[in-house]
Chains A and B, each alone.
Chain A
Amino acid sequence: MSDATAGNLSQAAAEARRDDAAQTGPMLAADGRPLKQSLNRALRAQKLRALALIAPLLIFLLVTFVAPILDMLFRSVENQIVSETLPRTVIALEDWDAEDLPSEDIYAALAYDLHAAVERRIHTRLGSRLNYEETGLSSIFRRSGRGIDDVGEGYADQFIDLDPAWEEPATWIGLMADPDWIAEQAAWAATETEAREPVFQLAPGIADLLPETADAYRSFALALQAEARNPDSPTTEEPWNTVFLALYRDLSAGAEVGAVEGPEFARAEVVRLQEAAAAVASFTPVDLRATFADIDEGWAEMPIWTTIQTFSDPYTAGYFLAAVDLQLTPSGIEVVEENQRIYMLLFQRTMVLSLTIMGLCVILGYPIAYLLSNLPLRTSNMLLILVLLPFWTSLLVRTSAWKVLLQQEGVINDLLVWIGLVADDARLAMINNQVGTVVAMTHILLPFMILPLYSVMKTIPPSYMRAAKSLGATNWTAFRRVYFPQSVPGIGAGCILVFILSIGYYITPEIVGGRTGIFISNRIAFHISDSLNWGLAAALGSILLALVLVLYWLYDRIVGIDNVKLG
């Protein structure tokens, strides 16, 4: 290239630059759009395409996996059962000072709630829920289910003695039901239809006049209609005794039944009500507290009331407290009695055993990984199969193998007796205790230590060791100062992996752990399938999950989840 052409070229370039500078607009793409915009658009399309490919799986996992985990977290604090089963009692107890037994009003609220709960057959569920907090409450609720009909019976008899019409369902319907509902119900009864009876409606105004009676009657009517197998109609059934109790309480509280005029109420019902109102003053009062104490002594004692009050919130920290051996009592948070502290012990044992297993895996895994990474590839690939085969073998197979080996009449004990190391009558107990769990789990988790260690050690150049030795280091110094520090990331990765897997183990401890070698997971499973204390299971699970997620985060920081390798 001659000097002249070079000069021309540089001149042309300078002109082009001037042209560019003169152009005020941004750089344009071929289609005339600004280049930046078009690039952004292409990038956005690319992002959307990537997301569209990921979306099906993400949605699938959110539904099948993430939602269940969130549900478990929710269950660990959820406690709606108390306020759903005993709504009136919970409200009435809000102002209770928890020093003396509750007033008659609160007992009345309990009577209405309990009767509705018994008819819906949910009182035993509440009993077992509260039994987690205070032993013995479950039987009180069961017994109350059988005795609830006694509550208000005295008043029912007195009302019926006064006027037998009170026994008639029609009397109550005339007083309580919405005229529109009565018409609808009659139309429904006239047709032979499969459909359910129209949902009961209270007469307008009745709730203001007789608040407790209206409430109690409504829950009676709805409970009848809600019966799953053969729903009943309030038009054919005499109300519960607790409805009579409510009527007595409303009338003796001075409900202004005299003022009732107007079309909503049938005249005859009003007259009957007025007669009853005049008569209640002469009724023999029934002591509700005594009635409940007759059903079960527990109702005349403090614990059940304080427990209901303490656990009346729809959300509770109670399960979490129980999971760390604390309990919520009316006077605050307390540590449970010494002989009931099991969860902290279990968490501690899970930690200690997992750390032991992790340590053993490092001790056993390090030499193997070292050997594998320093042998010629062909030999090391052969030996790697000895590591991968246990890794691929079913967990149940390996666990049953250890059961076979470790039991008292098992292979190892037989061998020891045969050699003469152990007397036949003093066979070692290696199963159903912590030894069994540690040995079996070390074997099961060892490949998870060897594989990450091996993949790190493969990348350590052998020349470093040689260089160290040529500079005068002994074998030991070269290993300690040069090789070992480079293998630490592998140890870290392997340790976290083994530890994460170990603290959540369930199957192996269940089979070879006996009573002393079980982990927190076994307790979770016990609470789900045997004791049915799902809230506590969820709380224990949430704590374990939090622990694992912290470790997972650490693992991600140290190793990176993208770098997880299999095989």
Chain B
Amino acid sequence: MDTKLPPYATTGERLWFYGFRVICGLIFFFLMAPIVVVIPLSFNAENFFTFTPGMLAFDPEAYSLRHYRDFLTNPDWQQALRNSMTIAPVATLLSVSLGTLAAIGLSQSHVPFKGAIMAVLISPMIVPLIISAAGMYFFYSRVGLQGTYWGVVLAHAALGIPFVIITVTATLVGFDRSLTRAAASLGANPVTTFFRVQMPLILPGVISGGLFAFITSFDEVVVVIFVGSAQQQTLPWQMFTGLREQISPTILAVATILVVVSIGLLTVVEMLRRRSERLRGMSPG
């Protein structure tokens, strides 16, 4: 499709041109509206899940921060936030460090059984979460990890690995091997070469892989429900219980905060992606 209608376009073509844009607009609306709607509702002064007449009349009385206050003062939510913030970073660290090493290994020119290894490494992303959760619940109860902090961290690290592998291998595709050879010829040992030459160049990929791993753990709810116990109740778990049992608009306040967090993460990832594409001359933007 061209961006502008040619002057000789027929009525039918004009209709289609604008009609298509309207259809796309509606689909974009479908994509964004649910997320946007949550934001004003979270400032509801009432304990309702819908717009009150006062809110529609933009009556300042109808808006309040009480649900945010509830989130910040309720010990359950605070504990959940703390749990999320102690589980996700450690899981991310594990998957990023192991995943980056493995991605470097996978990008070598001769890797035996590369297909099979790749299939295993990607599998946590493909296997349905409920199956991973069931298996981990059974297995971790056998070895005494079920219901422990480390059980949840290990499970989340496993789930985050495919994202690290995918993003870091994608960055390594454009990595110029002669740079490491140059470093070696100038007398650097492999460790120095890795940290001074290779790492800075693939860092954007590593960081965005890490962000993916972080968001995987931070958003994850199925596995933590089964592998964790009440002491590991995370933010999504608390939201899930809230949605199933006692519906409170505090969930919408938390949802709004999470939307803001994801906007932040998305911005960082996009900036990293564009930077690395620009550095490699793959994209003019």
Q: Which residues of A contact B (CB under 8 A)?
A: 43, 46-47, 49-54, 56-58, 60-62, 64-72, 75, 364, 367-368, 370-371, 374-379, 381, 383, 385-390, 392-405, 407, 409-411, 414, 443, 446-447, 475, 500-501, 503-507, 510-511, 521, 524-525, 528-529, 534, 537-538, 541, 544-545, 548, 552, 556, 561-562, 564-567
* Cα(A49)–Cα(B111), bound, Å: 9
**Given A69-B131, A561-B122, A411 contacting B1 (CB threshold 8 A):** no
* Residue B157 at the chain A interface, CB threshold 8 Å: yes
Whether B50 lies near A46 (C-beta < 8 A) is no
Contacts of A65 in B (CB 8 A): 123-124, 132, 135-136, 158
**Min CB–CB distance A556 → chain B (angstroms):** 7
* Cα(A471)–Cα(B285), bound, Å: 34
- In B245-285, which residues have CB < 8 Å from any A CB? 251-252, 255, 258-259, 262-263, 265-266, 269-270, 273, 283-285
In this complex, how many residues of chain B approach chain A with their Cβ under 8 Å: the count is: 98
Whether B102 lies near A57 (C-beta < 8 A) is yes
Contacts of A47 in B (CB 8 A): 110-112
Whether A54 lies near B117 (C-beta < 8 A) is yes
Contacts of B208 in A (CB 8 A): 567
Whether B121 lies near A61 (C-beta < 8 A) is yes
Whether A68 lies near B255 (C-beta < 8 A) is no
* Residue B140 at the chain A interface, CB threshold 8 Å: yes
Closest to A444 in B: B34
Whether B126 lies near A548 (C-beta < 8 A) is yes
Whether B259 lies near A393 (C-beta < 8 A) is yes
Whether A51 lies near B23 (C-beta < 8 A) is no
Closest to A450 in B: B31
Closest to B238 in A: A396
Task: Select which of B28, B102, B158 is within 8 A of A386 by beta carbon.
Answer: B28
Question: Which of B38, B134, B252, B258 is the most central at the interface, judged by chain A CB atoms within 10 Å of its CB?
Answer: B134
Whether B127 lies near A443 (C-beta < 8 A) is no
**Given A60-B158, A503-B128, A565 contacting B3 (CB threshold 8 A):** no
Whether B35 lies near A397 (C-beta < 8 A) is yes
**Min CB–CB distance B141 → chain A (angstroms):** 10
* Residue B154 at the chain A interface, CB threshold 8 Å: yes
Contacts of A500 in B (CB 8 A): 126, 128
**Given A64-B155, A367-B24, A504-B130, A71 contacting B37 (CB threshold 8 A):** no
Q: Which of B62-70, B181-189, B218-226 contacts A (4 or more CB under 8 A)?
A: B218-226
Whether B167 lies near A506 (C-beta < 8 A) is no
* Cα(A548)–Cα(B122), bound, Å: 13
* Cα(A20)–Cα(B177), bound, Å: 35
Q: In terms of DSSP, what is the predominant structure of the interface of chain A?
A: helix
* Cα(A105)–Cα(B38), bound, Å: 70
Task: Select which of B21, B124, B258 is within 8 A of A397 by beta carbon.
Answer: B258
Whether A72 lies near B138 (C-beta < 8 A) is yes
Whether B111 lies near A50 (C-beta < 8 A) is yes
Q: Which residues of B contact A (CB under 8 A)?
A: 1-3, 13, 16, 20-21, 23-24, 27-28, 30-32, 34-35, 37-38, 41, 48-51, 94, 98-99, 101-102, 104-106, 108-112, 117-124, 126-140, 142, 154-155, 157-158, 161, 163, 166-167, 169-170, 208, 212, 215, 218-219, 221-222, 226, 236, 239-240, 243-244, 251-252, 255, 258-259, 262-263, 265-266, 269-270, 273, 283-285
Whether B112 lies near A364 (C-beta < 8 A) is no
Whether A528 lies near B226 (C-beta < 8 A) is yes
Contacts of B170 in A (CB 8 A): 565
Whether B50 lies near A72 (C-beta < 8 A) is no
* Cα(A393)–Cα(B210), bound, Å: 16
Task: Select which of B50, B132, B169 is within 8 A of A410 by beta carbon.
Answer: B50
Q: In terms of DSSP, what is the predominant structure of the interface of chain B?
A: helix
Question: Which of B133, B157, B169 is the most central at the interface, judged by chain A CB atoms within 10 Å of its CB?
Answer: B133
Whether B31 lies near A387 (C-beta < 8 A) is yes
Contacts of B158 in A (CB 8 A): 60-61, 64-65
Whether A556 lies near B161 (C-beta < 8 A) is no
**Min CB–CB distance B28 → chain A (angstroms):** 5
Contacts of B105 in A (CB 8 A): 49-54
* Cα(A390)–Cα(B219), bound, Å: 13
Whether A68 lies near B35 (C-beta < 8 A) is no
Task: Select which of B128, B129, B139 is within 8 A of A68 by beta carbon.
Answer: B139
* Cα(A64)–Cα(B140), bound, Å: 9
**Min CB–CB distance A533 → chain B (angstroms):** 12
Whether A407 lies near B123 (C-beta < 8 A) is no
Q: List 15 A-B contacts (CB under 8 A).
A: A58-B120, A65-B158, A67-B139, A68-B136, A69-B127, A71-B138, A377-B283, A387-B31, A392-B263, A403-B49, A404-B37, A500-B126, A524-B130, A528-B226, A541-B135
* Cα(A49)–Cα(B104), bound, Å: 10
**Given A528-B226, A562-B118, A541 contacting B236 (CB threshold 8 A):** no
* Cα(A390)–Cα(B37), bound, Å: 13
Contacts of A538 in B (CB 8 A): 134, 138
**Min CB–CB distance A323 → chain B (angstroms):** 13
